[in-house]
Amino acid sequence: MAARPPTLIDMSHARSPTITAGLVFVMLVAVAAPSRAQLTGTTTQLTTNPATQLDPAISGDLVVFTDLRNSNEDVYYVDVTTLAEVRVTTSTTNQRLNDVNGTTIVYTDLTPPAAHIAAFDVTSGTTTALTPAAADQNPRIDGATVVFEHGTAANLDVYAVDTATLAITALAATAAQELAPVVSGTRVAFERRATSTAPGEIVVLDLTTMTETVLGDATLDDKRPDIDGDLVVWDQRTPAGDLDVMIYDLSTGLGKALALAGNQRAAHVSGRVVAFDDDSSGTSDVLVHHVDWLVTSPIAAGPATEFLNDIDGGRVVYTGNAAGNFDIWMFEFALEPPSCAVSDDLCVDTTGYTSAHASSYQRSEDGGKPTTDVTSFAAAPGPAVLAIHNHGCSSAVGTLNGEDVIFPSDFNQQVTCFTRDVTLAADNTLEVQVRSVPGCSIDVAILTEDECVGDAAAAAESCEASAFGGTPAALCGLVLLALARVRRRR
């Protein structure tokens, strides 16, 4: 991944002074973790009508979707506790591009003269036009804030409307194209392109301070963001031409690329779990990824196609054709933290540890003066454990990097094993001299404790390189975003 150089901003279209700094990416290679989280769950078919149902969104028990059973596009919802399908729109024109928060459904109404945003209250059964017929589409809602695209395809801007007051505010209305907005609390994320063919960048706008933070890589195409709390996810077109999912934590300034085989797209985030579409198997599947535990898993097995996902808490909804046509499905899941068990007796069990070095030393059967054997090895610097297995020796001495680590008093012929804490350097020298009866021997093992990916602190520094159940997956890179471009509008 290329470093993001300092960028010059064309001030002719800016509404206020803009300060831009470079965005630096550092890719760290993944290492395998000692244990993996376990995914369990159940799948439920939410719709059964033989017509096509698409594009689900979920909030709590409500799932809203676009339905084609009435010879046009209508908005429906289903309560997952009752599986009752309810029609929201009845017009002969199309209504689609829907979202839901709590009991409020928002959607695009394409009734002439122009598209507009409408809201449906599930509790009261009432519909409210949130915007005039002024080319508005693609709404997303959180609380009382609805963000949407305003304008024609040649000049899209991002606006917001308050469902309580119906006050409309322009959030991003520059000469560039601003589209695909999403909202979480007081943050709005959207896609910005200088022109319709230019690479996209992801912008996060703080509604309290009106500060923009620009994410992504200026040389690559970033698109389709989603946001929940501090986490922002989006699709990125790589130099190789495939799509990867990017994950960025606004609270830490750390992010990572899920650099898997094939294409990953349409990422959605809830809490610390990301759902996305993946075509690496040859057909489209929906996968989930836990940001802290660094594990990735498909939610369904088999040849069916699954795509157009959304996630809320422990529920993922998606469009799938497992029943023969495109229906809405739900996967309710639980993720158990990875087990990080560590052995308390390294003479018997080395669970939770990795060998940094192993060697054996034997007293010559011919007797004579004991000799000193010298072994050199490289290792990751830091704490380690020296484990000695004794095979009939009554004395030996040894040093590690000049420090005494094996003493004659450690031994008698009844001692079969002992351990000692040591410290490794990048380059190490181990010297051992066996002093005992001819033919006796000792085995030396130097062990380092594995990093547990269940630890959030460790998760910020490493990246799991395999999927649930041991299924190989491509390396997942940890991207350190050291600097972000910050723009303040006054």
Does the pLDDT of residue 319 top 90, yes or no?
Answer: yes
What is the CATH topology of the domain spanning 353-449?
A: Jelly Rolls (2.60.120)
**Nearest partner of 446 among 372, 376, 342, judged by Cα:** 376
DSSP string, 238-272: -TTS-EEEEEEETTTTEEEEE--SS-EEEEEEETT
pLDDT tens for 6-32 read 222 222 222 232 323 233 333 322 233
CA distance 73 to 65: 10
Of 193-202, 411-420, 456-465, the poorest mean pLDDT is in 456-465
DSSP tag of 457: H
β-pairing, 427-434 vs 38-45, is: unpaired
pTM reported for the whole predicted model: 0.70
CA distance 421 to 417: 14
Q: Which CATH number fits domain 27-340+463-488: 3.30.930.10, 3.50.50.60, 3.40.1480.10, 2.120.10.60?
A: 2.120.10.60
pLDDT tens for 164-175 read 999 999 999 999
Residue type, 88: V
Q: How confident is the model at residue 36 (pLDDT cuts 50, 70, 90)?
A: low
Give the chain's end-to-end CA distance (angstroms, integer): 33
**Torsion region of 439: left, alpha or beta (phi above 0 gives left; psi -120 to 50 gives alpha):** left
CA distance 359 to 336: 38
Average pLDDT of the chain, as a whole number: 85
Are the beta carbons of 1 and 24 closer than 8 angstroms?
A: no
**Nearest partner of 76 among 115, 44, 105, judged by Cα:** 105
β-pairing, 116-121 vs 126-129, is: antiparallel
Q: Where, residue-wise, is CATH 2.120.10.60 in the chain?
A: 27-340+463-488
> Residue 363, SS3?
coil
pLDDT at 37: 66
Q: Where, residue-wise, is CATH 2.60.120.260 in the chain?
A: 353-449
Residue type, 197: T
What percentage of the chain has pLDDT greater than the value 70?
A: 84
